[in-house]
Structure 1
Amino acid sequence: MALSVPNFVRLRDYQLTPLPNGSVLLQQGRSVSRYVEGTGPNSVVRANLVKGRHEIKKKLVTVSREEGAACFNTWTRAGQAFTTRRLDDILNLTAEGDARQAAVKPEQHGQPFYDLQVYRKTLHCSGQGNCRRQCGGLGGCIDGCQGPRNRMDKTHKCDFKVHISATLTDVKLGYRRLTVEGEHVPTDVDLVPPKVRELRPAEEVKDTMRVQREKFGTTAVKVVRALLADVPCNPEVNSRYVPREKQVKRFLERTDMLLRTGADKAPFA
């Protein structure tokens, strides 16, 4: 069953272009997060995805926030500043990147010559539901399994991945390329995804919760009521866009800690 989402989440034709190789071309910004979290195929939107490897060529592109983005962390390590990367971040070419893009030759065999990939982000399925694990178990490990190879191994619980990338020309035109890899379960097994009330809140919903808490001191109960009124999901309410009160309360507690300490070090839900 497709995920029920608010009308404002649905993408228009100019925001999404299917590609011959099975990938999709998305307008950068909100279109990317809305596709991944609400309007894409069930294999993507009905999974709780976790962030994996992130690569960006900083000499060629810069990163800025989408208008309205409020939920992200910043921190300093060894004197260097870092910040959370969001799905709806905006990329722009630097002067060097613009010069490199201008040298890209006309398209041949469906791809421009010398069009360098400058951005790549990988999302991994968290393995909730009956996903097949590397040890062979479905929804759980087999007896005797030693678990992931290390703490950074995000593929043991499920082999399904979402790759989001951009070349120099994609950045110039304001696009992202999204490709899926792997599968949740074997082809002869029906996928049982997480329940719709177990999905993690969308980025835009977390923005709303953080702003309401910072400006108005809103309680978890009031946040849920407001979301039910403002972003109805019919016929099926799901926690992607109307989180459970427990999820909201936990998120607001973390927001309060950041406001109280002034240190953006706690990860968000």
Structure 2
Amino acid sequence: MENLIKYNDDDTVNIPFGRVAEWYISNHSLLKNIRLKCQSRKKTSELVNKNIIAVSRVEGAVDYIKWNTKRGSAKSTNRIDDIIKLTPEGDEYVRQIEAGEKKDKTCWYWVMYCSGDGNSCQHECGEIGSCKENCANYFLPNNIKNYHDMHLCKVRVISESKLSWLKKEKPLRIKIIGSHLPINTLASHTPIITRLNLSRQIRDNIIINRRADHKTAKDIKAKLLALYNNASENELREALLKNQKTLCDNTKLRSFIMYDD
């Protein structure tokens, strides 16, 4: 995957659409073993409705929800490994952009952010693990106004793409900004994540195994732990703490399987 990443001078990277996007985010030093939440993906649906771009799922993607709107349109949840391509109308639009006849348009803009699990991050108001007394969020449950409030940490993952970039080999640009803690702090960042935090690819594999082979939680867990067959109990415990994108405990796994069922 590393060879598919182009590192830019402005601290951004350019990558292809697909699995490499999640791989890069999951393996970034700031983002390992933290849980990311996300805002709504912007600009994409508008251009899909205008038949300028089309969105497809990466091969093997099954972990998403589909529904129909009241108007009969099919909708589904977004994924960071979604793939965007130009339609014939989109190709013509880009030709006009290149000719200077039309302005370029953003076709993907998505902000993800650290969930602040474990009260170990610096909040937007400046306090670590909690809010300052004069903060507007101080008296709110969990110090957030709603589920999408980004107040609990300053780390952001911003991904974007434009129509003119879609003909390039690496059309998705990602920038990671902020930090969990101030540089000069003595506190350590130790997030305590109680929710399932497996990567999309691992979730896909679990669902496929479950649906195709009717594997039990025990069977799936054995497959996830195949690399740790000869590990000691302490090593397994350490792996569960440090590799939450690829491993999870029995309780979380059963809950995920029950949810899919």
TM-score normalised to structure 2 length: 0.80
How far apart are 1:46 and its partner, in Å?
3.3
- Equivalent residue in structure 1 for 2:36, among 49, 72, 76: 49
RMSD over aligned Cα, in angstroms?
A: 2.7
2:197 pairs with 1:186: no
Q: Which residue of 2 aligns with 1:141?
A: 131
Write the distance in 2 (CA, Å) between the matches of 1:218 and 1:85: 27
Write the distance in 1 (CA, Å) between the matches of 2:94 and 2:130: 47
Structure 1: 5+ residue runs without aligned partners? 1-10, 107-112, 257-269
- Are 2:117 and 2:193, in contact at CA under 8 Å, matched by a contact in 1? no
For these two proteins, the number of residue pairs brought into alignment is 236
Question: Secondary structure at 2:31's aligned position in 1?
Answer: helix
Q: Which one has the bigger strand percentage?
A: 1
Q: Which residue of 1 aligns with 2:53?
A: 61
2:254 pairs with 1:249: yes
Q: Which residue of 2 aligns with 1:261?
A: none
Write the distance in 2 (CA, Å) between the matches of 1:34 and 1:137: 31
Question: Secondary structure at 1:103's aligned position in 2?
Answer: helix
How far apart are 1:146 and its partner, in Å?
2.7
- Equivalent residue in structure 1 for 2:95, among 93, 98, 102: 102
Write the distance in 1 (CA, Å) between the matches of 2:162 and 2:192: 36
Q: Which residue of 2 aligns with 1:167?
A: 162
Q: Which residue of 1 aligns with 2:18?
A: 29
- Are 1:124 and 1:154, in contact at CA under 8 Å, matched by a contact in 2? no
Write the distance in 2 (CA, Å) between the matches of 1:156 and 1:195: 17
Write the distance in 1 (CA, Å) between the matches of 2:144 and 2:121: 18
- Are 1:62 and 1:91, in contact at CA under 8 Å, matched by a contact in 2? yes
How far apart are 1:173 and its partner, in Å?
2.2
Deviations 1:220-267 (A, max 9, x none): 1211111111699x98622211222111111001011xxxxxxxxxxx
- Equivalent residue in structure 2 for 1:116, among 105, 113, 138: 105
User: Which one-letter code corresponds to 1:86 in the other structure?
Assistant: R
Q: Which residue of 2 aligns with 1:154?
A: 149
Task: Flag the 1:231–1:90 CA change in 2: closer, same or farther, 3 A.
Answer: farther
How far apart are 1:52 and its partner, in Å?
0.9
Structure 2: 5+ residue runs without aligned partners? none
How far apart are 1:214 and its partner, in Å?
1.2
How far apart are 1:99 and its partner, in Å?
1.6
Q: Which residue of 2 aligns with 1:226?
A: 223
Question: Secondary structure at 1:251's aligned position in 2?
Answer: helix
Write the distance in 2 (CA, Å) between the matches of 1:192 and 1:67: 35
Write the distance in 1 (CA, Å) between the matches of 2:9 and 2:104: 18
- Are 2:55 and 2:83, in contact at CA under 8 Å, matched by a contact in 1? yes
User: Which one-letter code corresponds to 1:138 in the other structure?
Assistant: I
- Equivalent residue in structure 2 for 1:85, among 78, 84, 106: 78
Deviations 1:130-157 (A, max 9, x none): 1112343312334571335632542111
